[in-house]
Amino acid sequence: MGKNRLEAFSDGVLAIIITIMVLELKVPRGTDLAALAPLLPGFLSYVLSFVYLGIYWNNHHHMLHTVNQVSGGILWANLHLLFWLSLFPISTGWMGENHFAAVPTALYGFVLLMAAIAYWLLQRSIIASQGRDSLLARAVGRDYKGKSSPAFYLLAIPAAFVSPWISEFLYVFVALMWLVPDRRIEKVLAQE
Amino acid sequence: MGKNRLEAFSDGVLAIIITIMVLELKVPRGTDLAALAPLLPGFLSYVLSFVYLGIYWNNHHHMLHTVNQVSGGILWANLHLLFWLSLFPISTGWMGENHFAAVPTALYGFVLLMAAIAYWLLQRSIIASQGRDSLLARAVGRDYKGKSSPAFYLLAIPAAFVSPWISEFLYVFVALMWLVPDRRIEKVLAQE
Amino acid sequence: MGKNRLEAFSDGVLAIIITIMVLELKVPRGTDLAALAPLLPGFLSYVLSFVYLGIYWNNHHHMLHTVNQVSGGILWANLHLLFWLSLFPISTGWMGENHFAAVPTALYGFVLLMAAIAYWLLQRSIIASQGRDSLLARAVGRDYKGKSSPAFYLLAIPAAFVSPWISEFLYVFVALMWLVPDRRIEKVLAQE
Amino acid sequence: MGKNRLEAFSDGVLAIIITIMVLELKVPRGTDLAALAPLLPGFLSYVLSFVYLGIYWNNHHHMLHTVNQVSGGILWANLHLLFWLSLFPISTGWMGENHFAAVPTALYGFVLLMAAIAYWLLQRSIIASQGRDSLLARAVGRDYKGKSSPAFYLLAIPAAFVSPWISEFLYVFVALMWLVPDRRIEKVLAQE
């Protein structure tokens, strides 16, 4: 299987996830500005998840750039990543509707954690299929971001039971960390 | 990153937004013609938003035609535009369900305004990456439409509190202004 | 604009319409076989609309095969067709939920009628842009199917008020008429 | 019709089905961990259906790899398969919401059965169009998996009325059987 269909399918699923997430924002009841206030937490959760999915789409694209042949392992590692990303809408909705209550905030962190692990597994299976001195392995390097993100999520999950705001701060912090453009893969590609 | 995936992803998101918007039209209760009457404002709002999204899809396509290389800035400016467009279904639904009440009509204008600003920012970042004498800069020219649209929306938002019909008139007027085919980019491309 | 993006966008919208239509089938209440019985009319409506959308997708593809250059007129004629097709889910849902009551059945016919007219307008605008002796004009020929379908819908709409079963029979009949493979365009292409 | 559009359309529909299925998982009420417990059966059903759709996507892709020319028969056999796959979300939702009750579990098996039959019909129509000594016919060979799966589903449907857990065990077993990579088509392609 060439990587084109894998890319197209992943793009399709990501585009749909990012878009149906907005369906969790319910049309407000009432017609005054006050009717919008209860929607604010849902809206902020939506913004956060939109940014995360944008980051995943971007990084996923760069990572697949280094792939030539798609093995069965890569295919299922990719579907596994899409599975956890598909849980963004419901966990975002639960956190937003309940105004960042403790358990929904922790569960959101759990979904972020599982998606990060799934991304790391996909990265591993691509490197494994490319052989030892692989392009992606060199591009990823020490992978500070990839390794610290799960650590931050692991910190944020119990922190939600102290104060959900600590968790939200950590989620926003990790997102900002990834928003800083990541030129590792581009650099290694340019060196070739 | 080549522009093909950006185009494909944007097309996917736009196709989904334009289609899930119809889910905000609820199946009517009752089985007589009178049951359809309360749906009329929702239907008209749907038509308006459908036309706006069609215009965005069309213009977006022409604009991306001039792009060769997608930078990180362009990528996030594009996601920013898609973010505001993704709020069309909920703001359309709120305006339609409440029969063009003042606040929902103003909020709809706010989403139109933010989408127009996001489009302008995307245009800026493409021109910036193309350099001074860029193709797009020449094609856009004075950009009467692009500059007057936000002004009309800014007018329409407070006007909704006087009478929402003024706002609706302005939204329809701007849409019609854009429906007139815009051949600027095609002209400049033909001149090359 | 090349036709590839128009095709891809139309395919995307059609794929989404055909799939979200299933969301109008509500998960049944209760867990016995009797709980499925009230879903039967909705299911049959879904099958009918699925077949219609399959036919549109198929014919649309063949028609676009003859297009080289997409004008603004073709683009908006295409969006106009997608607009009416996007109303399939809600009109299917209304008809199914109300067990083929008169008004919903008539409205379903109205949406079929408008889609058929929109398809015909798109065909006209493609032929117009191709010039007098166009490939599509020769392929379409007398266009018995294209011309009789709206007539059947026009008959079915008032007939729903006599008995909705007459209308349903006509809808099924027209669908079967189109299911018979239409080789006109393929023939003319082969003659070239 | 070339196979590219058929592939793209099928991929689009599959990507949408796999993603909207998550909309059947309702945002939990309440904000404690106990609120998540009633969602567990729905979540497990979602995982099972996600895996099944991943398998279908994968096998469908390999099968279409052997196709050169898409006939009308293949096109409608493909739409027929997509039809039954489109019923995954609702049947998954019904089974999950009712915690694997007998009738919903049997109905889920019925949808699996019909999808398997539709897949087999598509395989037949591709082989028929390729002629006797077709690539796909040799690749499929004895087709142990393809022939035993419907048998397992046929067993699982009545078994649900004894104990739904027998049926669930069989559904999981068949999924695992297919997860073992299927290299038949790749082998035959490599032999060419």
Give tens-digit pLDDT for B137-186: 777 777 788 889 999 999 999 999 999 999 999 999 999 998 876 666 66
The residue with tokens 């990084």 is A59
Least confident of A9-13, B59-63, C79-83: B59-63
Confidence of residue D140 (pLDDT cuts 50, 70, 90): confident
Q: CB D27 to CB A23 under 8 A? A: no
Pair of tokens at residue D48: 């099972």
A-to-D residue pairs, Cβ atoms closer than 8 angstroms:
62
Taking 70 as the threshold, does the pLDDT of residue A11 lie above it?
yes
pLDDT given for residue B122 in this prediction: 94
What is the ipTM metric for this complex?
Answer: 0.89
Confidence of residue A116 (pLDDT cuts 50, 70, 90): very high
Most A CBs within 10 Å, among D7, D31, D57, to test the A interface? D31
The answer for C 102-131 residues in CB contact with B (under 8 A) is 102-104, 107
DSSP D27: P
d(CA B7, CA C1): 13
DSSP C105: H
How far from the centroid of its chain's Cα atoms is residue C94's Cα?
17
Burial bucket for residue D11 (CB in 10 Å: 0-12, 13-18, 19+): buried
* CA angle centred on D20, ends C78 and D98, rounded to 5°: 145
Q: CB C5 to CB B25 under 8 A? A: no
pLDDT given for residue B136 in this prediction: 76
The answer to whether A151 touches A112, Cβ cutoff 8 Å, is: no
Q: CB D19 to CB A24 under 8 A? A: no
Q: Which residues of D touch A1 (CB under 8 A)?
A: 61-62
Q: Sign (positive/negative) of CA torsion A49, A53, A59, A63?
A: positive
Judge whether B22 is closer than 8 Å to chain C, CB to CB.
yes
Q: Which residues of D touch A91 (CB under 8 A)?
A: none
pLDDT given for residue C182 in this prediction: 63
Most B CBs within 10 Å, among A11, A18, A60, to test the B interface? A18
Min Cα separation D27/chain A (Å): 6
Q: Subunits that touch chain A (at least 3 Cβ pairs < 8 angstroms)?
A: B, D
Q: Which residues of A touch B5 (CB under 8 A)?
A: 7, 11, 61
- Quick one: average pLDDT of D34-45? 92
Min Cα separation B3/chain A (Å): 12
Judge whether D38 is closer than 8 Å to chain A, CB to CB.
no
d(CA B131, CA B137): 9
The residue with tokens 């993603």 is D19
- Closest chain A CA to residue B13: A15
Picking from B12, B83, B94, the nearest residue to A28 by CB comes out as: B94
Q: CB A12 to CB D15 under 8 A? A: yes
Question: Taking the C-alpha atoms of A22, C79, C56 and C152 in order, what is their torsion angle to the nearest 10 degrees?
Answer: 110
Most A CBs within 10 Å, among D17, D20, D22, to test the A interface? D22
Which percentage of chain A shows pLDDT scores above 70?
92
Helix (H, G, I), strand (E, B) or coil at B142: coil
D160-190 pLDDT per residue, tens: 999 999 999 999 999 999 887 666 666 676 7
Taking 80 as the threshold, does the pLDDT of residue B134 lie above it?
no
Q: Which of A168, A169, A31 has its CA nearest to residue A98?
A: A168
- Closest chain B CA to residue A43: B87
Pair of tokens at residue B6: 């950006």
Q: What separation in angstroms does the CA of C13 have from each of A14, C31, C70?
A: 16, 34, 18
Q: CB D54 to CB A72 under 8 A? A: no
Picking from A11, A22, A36, the nearest residue to B86 by CB comes out as: A22
Q: CB C76 to CB B62 under 8 A? A: no
Min Cα separation D42/chain C (Å): 12
Picking from D15, D36, D179, the nearest residue to A16 by CB comes out as: D15
Exposure b/e, B84-123, CB count within 10 A at least 16 = b:
bbbbbbbbbbbbbbbbbbbbbbbbbbbbbbbbbbbbbbbb
Helix (H, G, I), strand (E, B) or coil at D142: coil
- Closest chain B CA to residue C93: B27
Q: Subunits that touch chain C (at least 3 Cβ pairs < 8 angstroms)?
A: B, D
Taking 70 as the threshold, does the pLDDT of residue A176 lie above it?
yes
Picking from A8, A94, A102, the nearest residue to D27 by CB comes out as: A94
Q: Which of A189, A155, A160 has its CA nearest to residue A61?
A: A189
The answer for A 132-161 residues in CB contact with B (under 8 A) is none
Judge whether C17 is closer than 8 Å to chain B, CB to CB.
yes
Judge whether B9 is closer than 8 Å to chain C, CB to CB.
no
pLDDT given for residue B180 in this prediction: 76
A128-152 pLDDT per residue, tens: 887 766 777 777 777 888 889 999 9
d(CA B101, CA A30): 10
Q: Subunits that touch chain D (at least 3 Cβ pairs < 8 angstroms)?
A: A, C
Pair of tokens at residue D142: 């004895």
DSSP C98: T
Picking from C79, C93, C103, the nearest residue to B31 by CB comes out as: C103
Which percentage of chain B shows pLDDT scores above 90?
54
Q: CB C19 to CB D13 under 8 A? A: yes
- Closest chain D CA to residue A96: D27
Judge whether C8 is closer than 8 Å to chain D, CB to CB.
yes
**How confident is the prediction for chain C on average, in pLDDT?**
89
Exposure b/e, C5-40, CB count within 10 A at least 16 = b:
bbbbbbbbbbbbbbbbbbbbbbbbeebeeebeeebe
Q: CB D16 to CB A16 under 8 A? A: yes
Min Cα separation D190/chain A (Å): 13
d(CA C11, CA C61): 9
d(CA D56, CA D51): 9
The residue with tokens 């990180």 is B72
The answer to whether B110 touches B161, Cβ cutoff 8 Å, is: no
pLDDT given for residue C176 in this prediction: 92
Q: CB C35 to CB D103 under 8 A? A: yes
A69-109 pLDDT per residue, tens: 888 889 899 999 999 999 999 999 999 999 999 999 999 99
Picking from A86, A94, A102, the nearest residue to D22 by CB comes out as: A86
State phi, psi for D24 to the nearest 5 degrees: -75, -20
Range among B13-22, D1-10, D66-75 rated most confident: B13-22
Confidence of residue B69 (pLDDT cuts 50, 70, 90): confident
Q: Which helix (H) or strand (E) holds A110?
A: helix A102-130
Q: CB A15 to CB B20 under 8 A? A: no
* Interhelix angle B88-97/B40-64, nearest 10 degrees: 160
Most A CBs within 10 Å, among B3, B5, B17, B24, to test the A interface? B5
The pTM assigned to this predicted structure is 0.91
Q: Which residues of C touch B47 (CB under 8 A)?
A: 83
**How confident is the prediction for chain B on average, in pLDDT?**
89
D98-135 pLDDT per residue, tens: 999 999 999 999 999 999 999 999 998 888 887 766 77
pLDDT given for residue C189 in this prediction: 66
User: SS3 for A52-106, per residue?
Assistant: HHHHHHHHHHHHHCCCCCCCHHHHHHHHHHHHHHHCHHHHHHHHHHCCCCHHHHH
Residues of chain C where predicted confidence (pLDDT) is lower than 50: none
Confidence of residue D6 (pLDDT cuts 50, 70, 90): confident
Min Cα separation D130/chain A (Å): 21
- Quick one: average pLDDT of A4-10? 86
Confidence of residue D192 (pLDDT cuts 50, 70, 90): low
Which percentage of chain D shows pLDDT scores above 70?
92
Q: CB D86 to CB C19 under 8 A? A: yes
Q: Which of C25, C29, C146 has its CA nearest to residue C90?
A: C25
Q: Which residues of A touch B100 (CB under 8 A)?
A: none
d(CA A108, CA A13): 20
The residue with tokens 């793209």 is D8
- Quick one: average pLDDT of D24-33? 87
Picking from A9, A87, A94, the nearest residue to D28 by CB comes out as: A94
Q: CB C22 to CB D86 under 8 A? A: yes
Q: Which residues of C touch B7 (CB under 8 A)?
A: 5
The answer for C 56-75 residues in CB contact with B (under 8 A) is 72, 75
DSSP string, C22-59: GGGSPPPSSSSGGGGGGGHHHHHHHHHHHHHHHHHHHH
